[in-house]
Amino acid sequence: MNITKFEGCNVTYAENQDQYEPLPAHRTNDDYGVATSCWTLTFRELLRVIFTRRIYAKIMTFNQPILPLKLTTEKEIDDE
């Protein structure tokens, strides 16, 4: 999967952290601070999803409680 910058991005996470790839995202300006990022599947990944209907989420928690996560195929950005 490739990180994809999209219309509405207003922040880039890990922009100056060599150990991470920069992550363009849209972050809401509310108490939740929801960050939405966009990922483009390679052709091989797309075929795998079509045939298996599965996507795995790998989250680095650094041994802390996991934060809520939602995967979707729609943009779902609330401009507040």
| Percent of the chain topping pLDDT 70 | 96
Q: Which segments within the chain are labelled E, that is strand?
A: 2-4, 11-13, 23-27, 35-36, 38-40
Q: What total of structural domains would you count in the chain?
A: 1
Enumerate helices (H) and strands (E) in the chain, giving the number of each.
1, 5
63 in any annotated domain = no
Closest CA to 11 of 30, 28, 25: 25
Residue 78 structure tokens: 């609330």
Domain that holds residue 17: 2-52
Query: What confidence category does residue 78 fall into, taking pLDDT thresholds of 50, 70 and 90?
Result: low
Tell me the whole-structure pTM to 2 decimals: 0.82
What is the residue-averaged pLDDT of the chain?
Answer: 92
Kind of pairing, strands 38-40 and 11-13? unpaired
